[in-house]
Amino acid sequence: MRTTIWVTTTFEAYHRWPEAPASVGFLQNFHRHIFHVRVEFLVTKDRQLEFFLTKWAVTAYLNETFAGRYMQSSCEVIAGQIFAYCKELGHVVSVTVSEDGENGATVSES
């Protein structure tokens, strides 16, 4: 049996895609999103990672690194950065980042 826990949180930021094709040219300009983040960790025993403490650590990292920023990063890049940070917290399995809870990307262990 395999057990995972997950936490979710959000942050507000702006991003753009300067090379966006003309059909979605509006993406070339900075635009605001509420980025939704879900991080999943592998655990081997009960309460190995406490939900609140884990969420607070992830949220603090997001607020320091991304919140309120103007970026040229995609959901894929942001998820990869969060994944790298979360390795410090435990055995991270996956990180999902979405724009406004609609479209997004997942980075997972290989």
Q: How far apart are CA 34 and CA 32, in angstroms?
A: 7
| Angle 56-81-18 from CA coordinates, rounded to 5° | 120
The pTM (predicted TM-score) of the whole model is 0.95
Q: Over the stretch 12-43, which tens digit does the pLDDT of each residue have?
A: 999 999 999 999 999 999 999 999 999 999 99
Task: Look up the domain containing 63 and give its range.
Answer: 3-108
In three-state secondary structure terms, 58 is: helix
Q: Please, what are the averages of pLDDT over each run of 10 residues along the chain (110 residues)?
A: 97 97 97 98 95 98 98 97 97 98 95
Question: What's the CATH code of the domain at 48?
Answer: 3.30.479.10
End-to-end CA distance of the chain: 19
pLDDT at 13: 98
3-state percent helix, strand, coil for the chain, nearest multiple of 5: 30, 40, 30
What is the count of structural domains for the chain?
1
Q: How far apart are CA 62 and CA 90, in angstroms?
A: 17
pLDDT at 110: 75
Q: Is residue 95 a contact partner of residue 79, using CB atoms and an 8 Å limit?
A: yes
